[in-house]
Amino acid sequence: MRPELLLRLTFLSGLTEGPEGPLLTVTAIVGKDPPAYRSRLAAWRGGRLAYLTRGEAKRPLWRGDFVYFLRREGELDQVFRLPLSGGEPEPVTRAKNGVLGYAVGPRGRLLYWTPERRPKPGEPRVYQGWPVKFDGRGRLAEVPVAVYLGARRLFARFPPVEEAVFGEDGALYFLAAPDLRSRATWRGALWRYREGALDRVLAPGGALHTLAAGPEGLAFVHQPYDEGGRFGEVRYLPYRASRSQVLFAGHLGNSVNADLRYGPYRQGPAFGRDGAVYFLATEGGRGVLYRVEPGRTPRRVESPKSVVAFAHGGEALLVEDFDHGPRLVWKGREVYDPNARLKLPFKRPEFFSYRAPEGHEVPGWGLLPEGKGPHPAILYIHGGPHTAFGEAAMFELQLFAAAGYAVVFGNPRGSTGYGEDFARLGGRWGEVDEADLLGLLDAALARFPLDPERVGVAGGSYGGYMTNWLTARHPERFRAAVTDRSIANWLSFFGASDIGPPFTRMQLFADPWRHPERLWEKSPLRYADRVRTPTLVVHSEADHRCPVDQGETWYTALFDRGVATRLFLVPEEGHDLSRSGRPDRRVARLKAYLDWWREHL
Q: What is the DSSP letter of 256?
A: B
- Cβ(444)–Cβ(450) below 8 Å: yes
According to the model, what pLDDT value does residue 512 have? Answer: 97
**Would you tell me the crossing angle of helices 395-402 and 583-600 to the nearest 10 degrees?**
40
| Per-domain residue ranges of the chain | 350-600
* Residue from 321, 232, 248 nearest 285 by CA: 321
Amino acid identity at 581 = G
pTM (2 decimals)? 0.97
Q: Is 259 left (phi over 0), alpha (psi -120 to 50) or beta?
A: alpha
According to the model, what pLDDT value does residue 353 have? Answer: 97
| CB neighbour list of residue 2: distance below 8 Å, 6 or more residues apart | none
According to the model, what pLDDT value does residue 87 have? Answer: 87
Q: What is the DSSP letter of 7?
A: G
CATH fold for domain 350-600: Rossmann fold (3.40.50)
H-assigned helices in 403-487: 420-423, 432-447, 462-473
According to the model, what pLDDT value does residue 555 have? Answer: 98
pLDDT averaged over 10-residue windows placed end to end, the chain, 601 residues: 97 96 97 95 95 94 96 95 91 97 95 96 95 97 97 97 97 98 98 95 96 97 94 97 96 98 97 97 98 96 96 98 97 96 96 97 98 96 98 98 98 98 97 98 98 98 98 97 98 98 98 97 98 98 98 98 98 98 98 98 97
Cα 289 to Cα 279: distance, rounded to the nearest angstrom? 6
Amino acid identity at 443 = A
Phi, psi of 585 (to 5 degrees): -75, -35
Question: Burial letters for 321-356: b for 16+ Cβ neighbours within 10 Å, e otherwise?
Answer: bbebbbbbbbeeeebbbbbeeeebebbebeebbbeb
Cα 356 to Cα 430: distance, rounded to the nearest angstrom? 16
Q: pLDDT tens digits for 255-265? A: 999 999 999 99
Q: How many residues does the chain have?
A: 601
Strand boundaries in 368-511, DSSP class E? 375-381, 406-410, 450-460, 480-484
Q: Is 31 left (phi over 0), alpha (psi -120 to 50) or beta?
A: left
**How far from chain centre, in Å, is Cα 552?**
25
| CB neighbour list of residue 517: distance below 8 Å, 6 or more residues apart | none
The strand order across the sheet containing 66-73 reads 58-63, 66-73, 76-83, 90-91
* DSSP-based three-state secondary structure for 348: coil
- Bridge partners, residue 410, by sequence: 364
